[in-house]
Homo-oligomer: A and B are copies of this chain.
Protein backbone atom coordinates (compact mmCIF):
# COMPACT_ATOMS: atom_id res chain seq x y z
CA UNK A 1 0.00 0.00 0.00
CA UNK A 2 1.15 3.51 -0.74
CA UNK A 3 2.69 5.21 2.26
CA UNK A 4 2.54 8.96 2.54
CA UNK A 5 5.97 10.49 2.39
CA UNK A 6 7.00 13.86 3.61
CA UNK A 7 8.92 16.66 2.03
CA UNK A 8 10.13 19.48 4.20
CA UNK A 9 10.11 22.64 2.14
CA UNK A 10 11.57 26.01 2.92
CA UNK A 11 9.73 28.37 0.68
CA UNK A 12 9.35 26.39 -2.51
CA UNK A 13 12.67 24.58 -2.21
CA UNK A 14 12.97 21.12 -0.68
CA UNK A 15 15.36 21.41 2.29
CA UNK A 16 15.01 17.73 3.00
CA UNK A 17 12.80 15.19 1.27
CA UNK A 18 12.82 11.51 0.39
CA UNK A 19 15.61 11.80 -2.17
CA UNK A 20 17.98 13.85 -0.04
CA UNK A 21 17.29 11.70 3.00
CA UNK A 22 18.11 8.54 1.06
CA UNK A 23 21.26 10.18 -0.25
CA UNK A 24 22.42 11.01 3.29
CA UNK A 25 21.79 7.42 4.35
CA UNK A 26 23.70 6.09 1.36
CA UNK A 27 26.68 8.36 2.09
CA UNK A 28 26.68 7.09 5.67
CA UNK A 29 26.58 3.50 4.44
CA UNK A 30 29.05 3.69 1.57
CA UNK A 31 31.45 6.26 3.02
CA UNK A 32 31.54 8.37 -0.12
CA UNK A 33 29.44 10.52 -2.41
CA UNK A 34 30.59 8.39 -5.35
CA UNK A 35 29.46 5.20 -3.65
CA UNK A 36 26.16 6.74 -2.63
CA UNK A 37 25.50 8.00 -6.16
CA UNK A 38 26.19 4.53 -7.56
CA UNK A 39 23.98 2.88 -4.96
CA UNK A 40 21.17 5.25 -5.90
CA UNK A 41 21.76 5.03 -9.64
CA UNK A 42 22.29 8.78 -9.68
CA UNK A 43 25.02 10.76 -11.40
CA UNK A 44 27.91 11.89 -9.25
CA UNK A 45 27.21 15.43 -10.35
CA UNK A 46 23.62 15.32 -9.15
CA UNK A 47 24.62 13.78 -5.82
CA UNK A 48 27.31 16.41 -5.35
CA UNK A 49 24.88 19.24 -6.10
CA UNK A 50 22.35 17.86 -3.62
CA UNK A 51 25.05 17.63 -0.95
CA UNK A 52 26.21 21.17 -1.69
CA UNK A 53 22.64 22.44 -1.38
CA UNK A 54 22.11 20.68 1.95
CA UNK A 55 25.45 21.86 3.29
CA UNK A 56 24.40 25.40 2.44
CA UNK A 57 20.83 25.27 3.73
CA UNK A 58 21.58 24.01 7.21
CA UNK A 59 23.38 25.85 10.00
CA UNK A 60 26.47 23.72 9.36
CA UNK A 61 27.39 21.02 6.83
CA UNK A 62 25.59 17.67 6.92
CA UNK A 63 28.31 15.94 4.89
CA UNK A 64 32.06 16.32 5.25
CA UNK A 65 35.14 14.87 3.67
CA UNK A 66 36.85 12.21 5.69
CA UNK A 67 40.56 11.57 5.83
CA UNK A 68 41.26 8.54 3.72
CA UNK A 69 43.71 5.72 3.56
CA UNK A 70 45.66 4.91 0.45
CA UNK A 71 42.79 5.48 -1.92
CA UNK A 72 42.24 9.02 -0.70
CA UNK A 73 39.41 10.22 1.50
CA UNK A 74 35.73 9.67 1.25
CA UNK A 75 32.78 11.49 2.73
CA UNK A 76 30.65 10.91 5.77
CA UNK A 77 27.85 12.43 7.78
CA UNK A 78 28.59 15.04 10.40
CA UNK A 79 26.86 14.93 13.78
CA UNK A 80 24.44 17.48 12.38
CA UNK A 81 23.90 15.30 9.32
CA UNK A 82 22.94 12.36 11.51
CA UNK A 83 20.70 14.58 13.63
CA UNK A 84 18.90 16.09 10.62
CA UNK A 85 18.34 12.63 9.16
CA UNK A 86 17.03 11.22 12.45
CA UNK A 87 14.69 14.16 12.95
CA UNK A 88 13.45 13.93 9.38
CA UNK A 89 12.64 10.24 9.77
CA UNK A 90 10.86 11.03 13.01
CA UNK A 91 8.72 13.69 11.33
CA UNK A 92 7.84 11.18 8.62
CA UNK A 93 6.90 8.54 11.17
CA UNK A 94 4.82 10.89 13.31
CA UNK A 95 3.01 12.26 10.29
CA UNK A 96 2.38 8.83 8.79
CA UNK A 97 1.06 7.45 12.06
CA UNK A 98 -1.26 10.43 12.56
CA UNK A 99 -2.60 10.24 9.03
CA UNK A 100 -2.85 6.46 8.79
CA UNK A 101 -6.65 6.29 8.91
CA UNK A 102 -7.02 9.11 6.40
CA UNK A 103 -4.48 7.42 4.15
CA UNK A 104 -6.39 4.17 4.21
CA UNK A 105 -9.51 6.04 3.11
CA UNK A 106 -7.53 7.77 0.39
CA UNK A 107 -6.06 4.51 -0.78
CA UNK A 108 -9.51 3.26 -1.63
CA UNK A 109 -9.71 5.96 -4.32
CA UNK A 110 -6.61 4.68 -6.11
CA UNK A 111 -6.51 1.86 -8.60
CA UNK A 112 -5.12 -1.19 -6.88
CA UNK A 113 -4.36 -3.27 -9.89
CA UNK A 114 -1.53 -1.50 -11.59
CA UNK A 115 1.32 0.90 -11.17
CA UNK A 116 0.70 4.61 -11.16
CA UNK A 117 1.35 6.18 -14.52
CA UNK A 118 4.01 8.77 -15.06
A residues contacting B by CB (< 8 A) are 2-16, 18, 52-53, 56-59, 80, 83-84, 87-88, 90-91, 94-99, 102-103, 105-106, 108-111, 115-118
Count of this chain's copies in the oligomeric assembly: 2
B90 x A102 contact (CB < 8 A): yes
Residue A10 contacts which of B16, B83, B97, B116 (CB distance < 8 angstroms)? B116
A5 x B8 contact (CB < 8 A): yes
Known A8-B103, A88-B106; 11 more pairs at CB < 8 Å: A6-B8, A6-B91, A10-B116, A13-B117, A15-B110, A53-B116, A56-B116, A57-B116, A58-B110, A87-B109, A94-B98
Residues from chain B with Cβ under 8 Å of A94 in the complex: 98-99, 102
Interface of A is mostly: mixed
| A55 CB, min distance to chain B CBs, angstroms | 9
Cα A3 to Cα B13 with chains together (Å):
11
A15 x B52 contact (CB < 8 A): no
